[in-house]
A = this chain, B = another copy of it.
């Protein structure tokens, strides 16, 4: 499906604020970016570089006063999500080199502490896709979705304790449980068609059956219409903006529409 997506951010700050954004979708196996635009008001230089995961990052020194950044794109992506209950667990010796890093614990995914729970939740499942599916269903049924209950320091362990969070937290918990079963899992930040209320979204991918599959613990069944902005170990890697100074986000408008 062909989607018109945009994210418009308005900042206010008293000084210049060096910042890194990750708001530029790029073409790849999962999507093709027909058109891509990054508008700054007032016009401000942007330096773009790929991080270690090959995500596009934008360095911008936000000027003092009022600043607006708008990223718009026309992107072709799949309108469905691949499901394969027979995709099996891949033992470490057969995992490609670049996938191994997604077995490690990370800032918000303390997978070194979750083995018991993961084993319990996936009892009786065939190793692989079915385990991840069981994990997602459990999260979807056990964690309450509520804005404002968590913050940028909330990790999977915190979410497990409070049983409440937003897409980012659902995702961290899913990733953590997968990794504790030696299933590689990575975070995805991006746009999702028909999300209500509309916002930037986060989900995850698990490597089973020899490839990455998409999972979204905030949904009963993962839907298509996903535009990827960034992949990473967890939210530390895929923040849509990191400020090095104080900038106040006055307004954020996200739009995803059929072209």
A interface residues (Cβ-Cβ under 8 A, vs B) = 18, 20, 26-29, 32-39, 45-52, 54, 57-59, 61, 76, 91-93, 97-98, 100-101, 104-107, 109-110, 112-113, 152-153, 182, 236-237, 244
Contact = CB atoms under 8 A, between A and B. Distances in A.
A27 B47 contact: yes
A182 B28 CA distance: 24
Given A51-B100, A112-B153, 10 more contacts: A28-B49, A32-B48, A34-B38, A34-B39, A35-B37, A91-B244, A92-B244, A104-B107, A105-B107, A105-B236
A4 B121 CA distance: 49
B35 A110 contact: no
22 contacts: A18-B91, A20-B100, A27-B48, A28-B48, A32-B46, A32-B48, A49-B97, A50-B50, A50-B97, A51-B97, A57-B100, A59-B93, A91-B244, A104-B107, A104-B236, A104-B237, A106-B107, A107-B107, A107-B110, A110-B153, A112-B152, A113-B153
Contacts of A47: 27-29, 32
The 5 A-B pairs of least Cβ separation, nearest first, read A27-B48, A49-B97, A18-B92, A92-B244, A35-B37
Tell me if A's interface is mostly helix, strand, loop or mixed.
mixed
A82 to B, nearest CB: 17
A45 to B, nearest CB: 6
Contacts of A110: 107, 153
A35 B32 contact: no
Nearest to A74: B37
A99 to B, nearest CB: 11
Given A27-B47, A47-B29, A92-B244, A35 B36 contact: yes
Contacts of A34: 37-39
Contacts of A20: 92, 100
A39 B74 CA distance: 11
A37 B93 CA distance: 22
Contacts of A36: 33, 35-37
Nearest to A53: B52
A64 to B, nearest CB: 15
Contacts of A50: 50, 54, 97
A57 B236 CA distance: 24
